[in-house]
Structure 1
Amino acid sequence: MTPRRPPAPWLDAALLAAALLDVWVHVDPGDRIAMACALLGAFALVLRHRLPLLTYLLALPATFVTDSVFATLAALYTLASLSRRRVLLAGCAAVFTVGDTTAWSWPVPEFADPTDAATLITITYSLATATAPVFLGQLVQARRELGLRLTEITEAREHERRLLAQNVLAKERAQLAREMHDVVSHQVSLIAVRAGALQVGNRDPEAKEAAADIRRLAVQTLDELRHMVGVLRAAGSRPTELTPQPLLADLPQLVDGSGIEAELRAELPQELPPAVQRAVYRTVQEALTNIRKHAPGSRAAIRIGQQDGTVHVVVVNSAPQRPALPLPGSHHGLVGLRQRAELLGGSVSAGPTVDGGYELRLEFPAQDAS
């Protein structure tokens, strides 16, 4: 786990406190010039982030007249962590070394014999003291830049991953569009053609009416399939208008075209939110589909109303009059209705009735969806 860094204001306050402590320990209060230079260098640290070079220059005089060098070293570290000019940093370290080795003889510097071992040790110590914050600042700068580069690489890889996923999704949609166009549309077209031939060649009125319904539904399905194919093919290239969503005004057409003897009684205001109207429509649509598949020949009663801010949808069918045909299904219809109702803050209940029929009931708030 990476340790958390202290907040910048607290770190600045700690550096200032350490610099003032260094002044209190190493500077004689009676030496006004030395005290002024040391305090100037300490309080200059508040500028180190915005003006690092000026901060170093303000802290540097204390190095020549006192042993208080903490502020100068802190300013040198900040300059090294923010600057890329290595010649400047080397010059600043060299100036610090000169000031630190001549502080005892200021204002008239006296340079000792450079061949003397003690002098060499002092110069080496001062140079190492100046070099350490420079190297540390450069290391922090490199670490910060490396973090930025890693962030950029991570973002680039994430962007590449999203593009790859979109490309795969586009290919899958294109393949699905081809399958729908080549297989499903072809088969539905054959259904429409055969239903048309049956309508023309059959003399039984009920059979002709049933064939006409089959042909009409097949043509409608073909139109929806063509639009879905267009949507799938255009996915990822440009926005595509989707099929208009059904509303309450479309319920009579849905019931009339269901092929079921059904009675619709709807007493709902037309200004209900679109999501509520879609939920009502899909509930009735799913109920009629299930009746047609599982209860052929039965009659249905559809009651839709609103009471105390709650929408009630009840679809009840009588017992089937003939055996149901084994038609394929996904068995997801009621699950989808329950999920839609839960999103709207309502509930769905379904079950058999005492006379052998089936009842589907949906309840949800009238204004909780938009």
Structure 2
Amino acid sequence: MSDGPWRSRHCLAVNVAIAVFFVLLDTGATLVGAAWWPAQPGTLAWVMLGLQALACFSLVARRRAPLTVVAVLGTYSLVLTLLISPVGALTPAHDWNVWAPYSTVLAAYGPLFYRRDQRSRRTALVALAVFTLIVARAWQPSAEIITIGVLRTAVGPLLALYFDARRRLVQALTERAERAERERHLLAEQARTEERARLAGEMHDVVTHRVSLMVLQAGALRMTATDEATRQAAEELRAAGCQALDELRDLVGILRSAPEGDETPSVAGLAALAAESAAVGTPVELVEEGDRALASPVVGRTAYRIVREALTNVRKHAPGARVTVRVEYGEAQVRLAVRNTPPTSAAGSALAGTGSGLGIANLRQRVELVHGTLRAGPAPDGGFSVEATLPAYVPTAELAV
């Protein structure tokens, strides 16, 4: 039901591809003489080239451990610089062309973008400062070396700050738009409620006035009529008028009440559904994650009906099965799954034959109305599964579910 595992595999594949790209880029640049490669490479040169490839491949962990990646590449750059000077174990073909790997640019991007709390930011700034000193080789004062080194370690953090600020701005604008939409929806609901109450009051005043006149006239006719048949008919007419007034009073009370009353099916009634099923011998485990308030009324009613239909089907077709109902309330989506174990006995033909057989089809149509998806089918363990993904917010004014 959830796309979390797929998303994790996708991110891992992307990170591996990026890491391999920088491994090939730095290895190729080194071999063609664009870095520290000596004119006559020895064993140490090839060992350092392999270590460079491993250090560059550490970019695969840049999302989960960005500071570790910075530490790995910073350590490698420092060791390489020390081996060249002052140790002198490596002699580059071009002394003026000794630079840290290109991977340092992307490594410097991670700490500020993937660590957003204040404490992590302060640690990241300290780590990047040390990283910059190593890459720029501050102990070898040279305007060209320091400039290029600082640029390599500054581009990543600047891009990270830009994209983080842009992300925050988009998130704030999105939240503001959603809040405005919810407020507009609430104002529309309030206006409809007020208009309903006004119309109910006018209807009550007009109809009550006319029916009251009829009741009074019927009562007067009953008192003044000379024959019994007329008096009986007048009494029946008066009694019917009084009953009509009572029913009108009840109807006006309903119209004046809020449209989303306690009796309206919603996710708040899922616990009652589970209890009803358990009472008739179908154990139900209800698991809810997140805030119910994230689901708008239309989505809540749709989720309620999906669970109700699924539990009804379990009672009909899978006697003795245990059911798990899982509902996840998110900012953008509401996900629910109803799964039952295999039945422990054969379904009764009388109960299984009831209904139209269109329950799942009707549910699918209802889910499509709110732009959601529904999947229903046998589970690998022999049970049955009904899974639905619904948008968290659907205005009541746009859909009548």
Q: TM-score scaled by structure 2?
A: 0.49
Q: Say which of 38, 41, 58 aligns to 2:52.
A: 38
- Identify which range, 229-238 or 47-56, moves more after superposition: 229-238
Q: Is the 8 A contact 1:41 1:60 kept in 2?
A: no
Q: 1:120 to 1:215 in 2, by over 3 A?
A: same
Q: Say which of 159, 168, 171 aligns to 1:148.
A: 171
Alignment of 1:182-221 (within 5 A): 182-204=205-227, 207-221=230-244
Partner of 1:128: 151
Alignment of 1:1-370 (within 5 A): 8-25=11-28, 26=30, 30=43, 31-64=45-78, 65=80, 67=99, 69-84=101-116, 87-102=122-137, 111=140, 114=141, 119-204=142-227, 207-235=230-258, 239=262
Query: What SS does structure 2 have at the residue aligned with 1:49?
Result: coil
Query: What SS does structure 1 have at the residue aligned with 2:63?
Result: coil
Q: 1:57 to 1:195 in 2, by over 3 A?
A: same
Partner of 1:302: none
Matched letter for residue 136 of structure 1:
L
- Residues 214-236 of structure 1: per-residue CA shift (max 9 Å, x gap): 32332222111111222233326
Matched letter for residue 210 of structure 2:
Q
- Residues 8-34 of structure 1: per-residue CA shift (max 9 Å, x gap): 345323311212212421266842552
Q: Tell me, which stretches of 5 or more residues in structure 1 are unaligned?
A: 1-6, 103-108, 242-308, 310-370
% same residue: 32
**Counterpart-to-counterpart distance in 2, 1:152 and 1:71:** 36
Matched letter for residue 153 of structure 1:
R
**Counterpart-to-counterpart distance in 1, 2:50 and 2:263:** 74
- Identify which range, 26-35 or 180-189, moves more after superposition: 26-35
Q: 1:240 to 1:232 in 2, by over 3 A?
A: farther
Q: Is the 8 A contact 1:81 1:137 kept in 2?
A: yes
Deviation, 1:239, is 3.9
**Counterpart-to-counterpart distance in 2, 1:175 and 1:167:** 12
**Counterpart-to-counterpart distance in 2, 1:19 and 1:240:** 61
Q: TM-score scaled by structure 1?
A: 0.53
Matched letter for residue 34 of structure 1:
M
Structure with the larger RCO, 1 or 2 (CA within 8 Å, 6+ apart): 2
Q: 1:38 to 1:101 in 2, by over 3 A?
A: same
**Counterpart-to-counterpart distance in 2, 1:80 and 1:42:** 19
Matched letter for residue 251 of structure 2:
M
Q: 1:234 to 1:60 in 2, by over 3 A?
A: same
Deviation, 1:196, is 2.3
- Residues 131-178 of structure 1: per-residue CA shift (max 9 Å, x gap): 111010111111122222122212221221122122212221222232
**Counterpart-to-counterpart distance in 2, 1:127 and 1:67:** 12
Q: Is the 8 A contact 2:218 2:237 kept in 1?
A: yes
Deviation, 1:130, is 1.2
Partner of 2:336: none
Matched letter for residue 95 of structure 1:
V
Deviation, 1:127, is 0.9
**Counterpart-to-counterpart distance in 2, 1:89 and 1:127:** 16
Deviation, 1:240, is 7.3
Q: Is the 8 A contact 1:177 1:233 kept in 2?
A: yes
Q: Is the 8 A contact 1:170 1:236 kept in 2?
A: yes
Q: 1:79 to 1:177 in 2, by over 3 A?
A: same
Q: Is the 8 A contact 2:221 2:234 kept in 1?
A: yes
